[in-house]
Amino acid sequence: MSRLRDSEKIAGKGRNRLLITYEVFSDKGRREVNEDSAGAFENEGKYCFVLCDGLGGHGMGDAASQCVVETFKTQFFENGNGMKDFLPETFEIAQDFLLGEQIVRKAKAKMKTTAVAMLTDGVNVYIGHIGDSRCYAFGRHKVKFRTLDHSVPQMLVLTHEIKDSQIRNHPDRGLVLKALGTEWEDGPEFELTEEKKIKGIRAFLLCSDGFWELIEEKTMCELLRKSSTVKEWLDSMVEEIRKNGEGKNMDNFSAIAVWNTKE
């Protein structure tokens, strides 16, 4: 188990000031290598959260996910002033960097990763993703929205061939359609969520598929209602995941939990 970091800080100014707390977690499950990487960064009242899941079927997924997290970190501290442009620019920079690293490391078909990222100044929230790592946003009693996976089962949901509840157990659940480190045919393949206000959102959860596949949204919400801190919430979800994964070949599972404690 790896407890990476937690924090409690004030974001925003004046009446818009919100108390942001967060907790970061990553575990290799029952795999030999943890190909997940996660980072939480703070700079001048802004926060950047990013989580990546290296695609193990290709090898060197751990290197790919680490490269992308480091790219987001560098861009956030050096060029993170433009809120609206930060995510699209950084996704493209990360893509170019990965493709370059594939050549340098002679790993042309190997270094690939999903990614989900969130940027906030305590007032506005920007979210982007590629692959099947997710970002959830919660009100006090329900999921307000989540990113939609770039995966075969998610496409089947969108075409009404299966129900959303069937994604977790679908035989093609591991088939990701888009990733960083894969050549894009018709321009950028990451997806940006429409800008949102943090007011009215109680919590966010960025997580890899190894995390969300073993805990249902209903349980996430129940544990959120029962928890008094962001750490307690994340710990209780991890406990549920371990219980549900007992006896299974558990994948790496990682998450970043973020609370707006003024809601």
* Nearest residue to 128 via CA among 166, 93, 167: 93
Instruction: Give bridge partners of residue 23 from the DSSP assignment.
Output: 6, 257
> What is the pLDDT at residue 1?
44
> What is the pLDDT at residue 141?
85
Tell me which fold the domain 2-146+178-260 belongs to: Phosphatase 2c; domain 1 (3.60.40)
Q: Which residues of 89-126 are buried (b: 16+ CB within 10 A; e: fewer)?
A: ebbebbbebbbebbeeeebeebbbbbbbbbbbbbbbbb
Token pair 């920079």: residue: 93
Torsion angle (degrees, nearest 10) of CA 36, 42, 46, 49: 10
Q: What is the pTM of this model?
A: 0.92
Instruction: Round to whole Å and give the CA distance between 135 and 202.
Output: 14
CA 217 to chain centre: 15
Kindly report, residue by residue over 250-262, the tens digit of the pLDDT: 999 999 999 998 7
Query: Inter-axis angle of helices 61-79 and 83-104, to 10 degrees?
Result: 140
Helices assigned H by DSSP within 159-229: 209-212, 217-226
Look over the chain and give the mean of its residue pLDDT values, rounded to a whole number: 91
Q: How confident is the model at residue 11 (pLDDT cuts 50, 70, 90)?
A: low
Instruction: Round to whole Å and give the CA distance between 31 and 72.
Output: 26
Half-sphere exposure for 158 (CA within 13 Å, toward CB): 9
Structure tokens at 110: 């190997």
* Nearest residue to 44 via CA among 74, 14, 69, 12: 12
Kindly report, residue by residue over 39-98, the tens digit of the pLDDT: 999 998 999 999 999 997 667 999 999 999 999 999 999 986 689 999 999 999 999 999
> What is the pLDDT at residue 261?
82
Q: How confident is the model at residue 263 (pLDDT cuts 50, 70, 90)?
A: low
**Average pLDDT, integer, range 16-43:** 91
**Average pLDDT, integer, range 1-8:** 48
* Nearest residue to 211 via CA among 220, 203, 202, 198: 220
The residues, any chain, with a CB within 8 Å of residue 166's CB and separated by 6 or more, are 153, 157
* Nearest residue to 209 via CA among 167, 259, 239: 167
Return the domain boundaries, the chain: 2-146+178-260
